[in-house]
């Protein structure tokens, strides 16, 4: 079993939640991995570790798959039999959900990954105990407006919606997202993917998403352009811990305009694959006060990145990958004494600059772990 799938199931069962980890700066998946590490250290589960190597032949391991030992599995099967616990198998014929799923009223976790579904039935509202609805990589699935009735739904991953040739689908997708935002009293994790522009200015949808008091993790893949500059609200009420932007094509500097930098609880920010199309970015002083992990990957036009003093004071891991035009490492990294790990991937020019003989080495010489990968 994939370890990440197990983590998500624990979260769906409310074994791990933001309510019970309090104000810790860890994500739910971080806490789940710690629990899993404890099980592995006690030999309760067998684990498969996936290793990656940098140019210096240093390796980093991450839990990948797991299974139970035979003795533990037998104990679990006996316990399940006593509790009348069973596993149901459904046949999937494409286009529609298997008959009977929406009658499983106690279902907590439903993943429909890469499924070619036309739409979800309105009877999905029967799943009132549903915690996680995951439609990752499924395409153009019509989802009924039943979020208001799914009172326990906390983790929601939308399907991937359309392209420029499917404007009707895009219009419906935007309405669906709007309906979800209006009922985000419980949702704490949400991922939205629309493969073209979507008018998120309607009813201040983007602004409401960024300031939603319960939303802790938010990922979006849809063209934003200049929308971030229109988010004029006070962002201090935001509880966002994790923000992932993919192919958003933000035209302005998302850091310099002090929108993202003002999110008070943000601990992880990933800017991926054309999420920013400008040439310059700047992290102003006192921005990103709790940010611990930052990833810049696939930003094709980025040439200059400046970090002012006292910006990102808690940053512990920085990953820069495939930003081929980035001219140098920011001078401001010198003042981030807590930075523990720097990863540079697919950037031969920057690689030379951070080596001991390179002109940028003095900016990162205090970092204990520097990984350079092709």
In tens, the pLDDT along 196-245 reads 656 665 667 777 777 777 778 888 888 888 877 776 566 677 788 889 99
Distance CA 156, CA 214 (A): 13
The domain in which residue 64 lies consists of: 1-87
Confidence label for 168 from pLDDT (cuts 50, 70 and 90): very low
Q: What is the pLDDT of residue 131?
A: 87
Two tokens, residue 331: 């001078």
**Per-residue DSSP letters for 197-210?**
E--TTGGGHHHHHH
Q: Is 66 part of a structural domain of the chain?
A: yes
CA distance 330 to 34: 33
DSSP 150-199: -TT--EEEEEEE--TT-HHHHHHHHHHHHHHHHTTTS--EEEEEEEEE--
pLDDT of residue 214: 74
**Longest alpha-carbon distance in the chain:** 67
The total of other beta-carbon atoms located within 10 Å of residue 91's CB is 6
Mean pLDDT is lowest, of 5-14, 126-135, 268-277, for 5-14
In a domain, 55, yes or no: yes
Other beta carbons within 10 angstroms of residue 217's beta carbon come to 21
The DSSP code for 226 is T
Listing DSSP states for 276-289 in one string gives B-SSEEEE-TT-ST
Looking at the chain, the whole-number percentage of residues with pLDDT higher than 90 is: 21
In this structure, is residue 52 part of a structural domain? Answer: yes
Q: How far separated are the first and last CA of the chain, in Å rounded?
A: 30
In a domain, 354, yes or no: no
Determine the Cα–Cα distance for residues 169 and 153; give it in Å rounded to an integer: 24
Q: How many domains does the chain have?
A: 1
| Burial zone of 153 (CB within 10 Å; 0-12 exposed, 13-18 middle, 19+ buried) | buried
pTM value? 0.80
In a domain, 31, yes or no: yes
């Amino acid at each position: 079993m994939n370890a990440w799938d197990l983590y998500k199931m624990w979260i769906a069962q409310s074994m791990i939640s933001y309510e019970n980890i309090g104000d810790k700066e860890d994500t739910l998946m971080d806490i789940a991995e710690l629990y899993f590490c404890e099980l592995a250290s006690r030999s309760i589960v067998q684990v498969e570790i996936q290793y990656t190597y940098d140019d210096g032949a240093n390796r980093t391991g991450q839990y990948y798959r797991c299974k139970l030992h035979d003795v533990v599995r037998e104990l679990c099967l006996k316990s399940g039999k006593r509790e009348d616990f069973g596993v149901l198998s459904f046949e999937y014929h494409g286009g529609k959900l298997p008959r009977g799923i929406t009658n499983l009223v106690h279902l907590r976790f439903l993943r429909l990954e890469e499924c070619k579904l036309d739409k979800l039935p309105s009877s999905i509202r029967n799943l009132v105990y549903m915690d996680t609805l995951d439609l990752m990589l499924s395409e153009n699935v019509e989802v009924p407006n039943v979020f208001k009735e799914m009172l326990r739904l906390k983790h929601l991953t939308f399907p991937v919606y359309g392209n420029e040739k499917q404007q009707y689908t895009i219009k419906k997708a935007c309405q669906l997202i709007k309906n979800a935002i209006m009922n985000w009293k419980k949702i704490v994790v949400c991922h939205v993917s629309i493969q073209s522009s979507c008018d998120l200015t309607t009813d201040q949808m983007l602004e409401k998403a960024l300031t939603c008091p319960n939303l802790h993790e938010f990922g979006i893949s849809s063209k934003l352009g200049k929308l971030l500059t229109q988010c004029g609200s006070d962002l201090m009420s935001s509880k966002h811990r994790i923000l992932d932007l993919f192919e958003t094509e933000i035209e302005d500097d998302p850091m310099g305009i002090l929108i993202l930098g003002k999110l008070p609880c943000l601990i992880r920010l990933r800017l991926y694959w054309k999420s920013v199309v400008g040439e310059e970015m700047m992290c102003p002083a006192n921005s990103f006060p709790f940010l611990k992990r930052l990833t810049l990957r696939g930003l094709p036009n980025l040439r200059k990145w400046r970090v002012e003093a006292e910006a990102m004071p808690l940053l512990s891991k920085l990953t820069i990958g495939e930003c081929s035009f980035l001219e140098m490492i920011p001078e401001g990294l010198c003042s981030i004494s807590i930075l523990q790990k720097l990863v540079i991937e697919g950037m031969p020019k920057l690689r030379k600059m951070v080596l001991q003989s390179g002109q940028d080495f003095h900016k990162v010489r205090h970092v204990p772990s520097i990984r350079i990968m092709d």
